[in-house]
Structure 1
Amino acid sequence: MSASGEIRLISIVLPVYNERDNLENLHNEIQKAISSLPYDFEIIYVDDGSNDGSFDILQKIAQKDKRVKIIRFKRNFGQTSAIKAGFDFSRGEIIITMDSDGQNDPADIPKILEKLFAENLDIVSGWRKERKDNIVRVIPSKFANLIISFVSGVKLHDYGCTLKAYRREIVKNLELFGDMHRFIPAFAGWFGAKVGEVVVNHRPRTKGKSKYKVIPRVFRTFIDIFFLKFFMSFQTKPMRFFGSSGIALIFISLLLAGLTLYQKYYLGVWVHRNPLLLIAIFFFLTGFQLITTGIISEFLVRIYFFSSQRPPYFVEKVIYGDEENRSS
């Protein structure tokens, strides 16, 4: 595990979607924040299918700063895919992610790195303790953080904060999809990574429009939490979940069938008048379906782990501020 003295390059990854009014000022703030740090930096902007001219602004930034790399998607693939692309195209031993809307404060970058190195952590997550969002966003977020912390065992106050620092070895082979970027600390913690948290500044959005939609985001988050629990408990052995549930239901169905026979022969209750028989049949068929699902899931898991890994995005263009890095 790398110590701070061995770090040569740090990558900063920013997903961008229709943020043209924020980009130049944000980049200036990043330059100021990292100017006094004793490391080399690369700044990776992932244009996630912007249609407001953000790409043109990014090109101008790249012309002025050779540390900039722009990854342009063919269309909008979502924040998780943008972060995944940033991981894939980065070269740094440490990778920092942050939003491009200006709400994350680049001045917190030194603080996050200090926490990472001082405590020899693998991941440091920002905690927006004084969050500058409306209550409609804050309350569901707090509730989700409690559930994620409980399910994963990795106690964080703010899984949704994009401002995080990762050691490269932790995320380089991590497969991300859906909206799973916010769960990276939970997945990494499950694999044994050391995860920490530090309070960071959170600023109100002053330019542009938020892409946050409350109901779809809340719904997707709770679906992802269910997947997280299933993944962490039965990642490589789905048959343990489906199979054990199916066997339990079949066992109950046999007990009910036995009780039905007992009632018929000893109590004189006719089968066609006994609802227990229908319940027994229902439990048996459901149990059989669960076992079948478990078998199919086992095959799908094996296909997943042995198939070639296809990235969840399509890159249209990569632009380098430093022409020498084109071959990297």
Structure 2
Amino acid sequence: MSLEQSERKISVVLPTYNELQSLPVVVDEIIEVFKKLNYEYEILIIDNASTDGTIKLIRSMCENYSFVKAIINANNFGQIRSPFYGILQSDGDAVVHLPSDGEVPISIIPSLLVKWEKGYRVVHAVKKYQTRSALTFVKELFQNILNRLTSTEMTFNSSGYGLLDAAVVKEMRKIKSIYPYYRGLLNELGGKSASVKYQHVNRKVGISKNGLLSLTDYGLVGIVNYSKFPLRLMMILGLIGASVSFFVGFGYLILKILDWDGFQAGLVPLAALSLFMHGLSLFFIGLLGEYIYHIFINTRGHPLVAEAEKINFDQNDE
């Protein structure tokens, strides 16, 4: 690599929560990868208030390696806010964002850097599945739906991990949302982007933190941040429902007038229509509540996370 490349610094951001077993393996693999690369680098670990001894391990790593930085959160701020904050705290010329559970192989780093050196500001790590589960099907279905609902096209099967240039991170620092949809921001702010495919493998130790509830939460964040279609759909279906109710009611009135004594439809059709309309209304009220909730939390002025401790940061970085 050129002298210019050797002067560049790469920040590797690893979000953690109870990763006592997997974190040492991942960090060792990162060190081995960068021994073969001509870059300065740092490893920035942001921990979401782990309870299994991970924090003690992180402190030990910071003592042994000056290039390992750490942010320990005061509380668990979830899988959206904490990783995003870690990325914003990096100071490399490029940021490589990877999970600390090993599900994205560390060997992908050189391929990400090759794409970056070619001028791509964002390089997505895109999954290839060995086996397809019901959860995989749900994820892909959501991605298809979101792409159809939004004007910002999302990279299909992007894991949310990969590489982004410091210029993109600089733009992300201007975002005031404490619940950003990170994958959407990559496509919206990244400009020229590329992808590197990797073989997804299940973690070797521990259990995955990406359950159905967390994925649902992340999906709703994507919809309310990037799509106005559900709001338009509420108005359209509301108008259709009101129109149908009016014409059904008017039709019943005409039939009753024409055959006052003989027409006995009963309340069953009206009750069924009423239950349907009430169910639809409750669904849309809940969806509207999601939009209002995100407006509320993003106007409170709260920080992304509260730090309990920062280790190996220069005073200028504090």
TM superposition score normalised by structure 2: 0.74
**1:143 maps to which of 132, 137, 145:** 137
Are 1:260 and 1:276, in contact at CA under 8 Å, matched by a contact in 2? no
Q: Which residue is equivalent to 2:195?
A: 197
Change in Cα spacing, 1:45 to 1:291, as seen in structure 2 (3 Å) is closer
Q: Which residue is equivalent to 1:234?
A: 228
Are 1:29 and 1:106, in contact at CA under 8 Å, matched by a contact in 2? yes
Please, which moves more after superposition, 219-228 or 250-259?
219-228
CA distance in 1, matches of 2:109, 2:191: 21
**2:240 maps to which of 241, 245, 248:** 248
CA distance in 2, matches of 1:28, 1:299: 44
Q: CA deviation at 1:191?
A: 6.6
SS at match of 1:198: strand
2:207 aligned with 1:210: yes
Matches within 5 A, 1:249-328: 249-268=241-260, 273=266, 275-278=268-271, 303=296, 307-320=299-312, 324-325=314-315, 327-328=317-318
Q: Which residue is equivalent to 1:111?
A: 111
SS at match of 2:113: helix
**1:165 maps to which of 160, 163, 166:** 163
Are 2:125 and 2:162, in contact at CA under 8 Å, matched by a contact in 1? yes
Q: Which residue is equivalent to 1:56?
A: 56
Q: CA deviation at 1:251?
A: 1.6
Change in Cα spacing, 1:282 to 1:82, as seen in structure 2 (3 Å) is closer
Are 1:249 and 1:284, in contact at CA under 8 Å, matched by a contact in 2? yes
Are 2:126 and 2:196, in contact at CA under 8 Å, matched by a contact in 1? yes
Q: Which residue is equivalent to 1:123?
A: 122
Counterpart AA for 1:85 = Y
Q: CA deviation at 1:210?
A: 2.0
Are 2:22 and 2:206, in contact at CA under 8 Å, matched by a contact in 1? no
Change in Cα spacing, 1:174 to 1:189, as seen in structure 2 (3 Å) is farther
SS at match of 1:20: coil
Counterpart AA for 1:13 = V
Cα distance per residue 1:270-289 (max 9 Å; x no partner): 57836555566667777887
Provide structure 1 residue ranges, at least 5 long, that are not aligned to the other structure: none
Counterpart AA for 1:210 = I
SS at match of 1:245: helix
Q: CA deviation at 1:109?
A: 1.0
Q: CA deviation at 1:193?
A: 4.5
Q: Which residue is equivalent to 2:150?
A: none
Change in Cα spacing, 1:286 to 1:24, as seen in structure 2 (3 Å) is closer
Q: Which residue is equivalent to 1:11?
A: 11
Cα distance per residue 1:91-137 (max 9 Å; x no partner): 2343211122344333321211222342x444322234365xxx5xx
CA distance in 1, matches of 2:288, 2:141: 30
CA distance in 2, matches of 1:19, 1:296: 34
CA distance in 1, matches of 2:284, 2:155: 36
TM superposition score normalised by structure 1: 0.73
Counterpart AA for 2:247 = L
CA distance in 2, matches of 1:219, 1:293: 16
Counterpart AA for 1:200 = Y
CA distance in 2, matches of 1:87, 1:61: 19
Are 1:125 and 1:198, in contact at CA under 8 Å, matched by a contact in 2? yes
SS at match of 1:273: coil
SS at match of 1:200: strand
Change in Cα spacing, 1:88 to 1:297, as seen in structure 2 (3 Å) is same
Q: Which residue is equivalent to 1:90?
A: 90
SS at match of 1:129: strand
CA distance in 2, matches of 1:55, 1:22: 13
Counterpart AA for 1:81 = R
Are 1:245 and 1:290, in contact at CA under 8 Å, matched by a contact in 2? no
Q: CA deviation at 1:70?
A: 0.7
CA distance in 2, matches of 1:32, 1:94: 19
Q: Which residue is equivalent to 2:46?
A: 46
Cα distance per residue 1:214-243 (max 9 Å; x no partner): xxx2354356445534543218xx643333
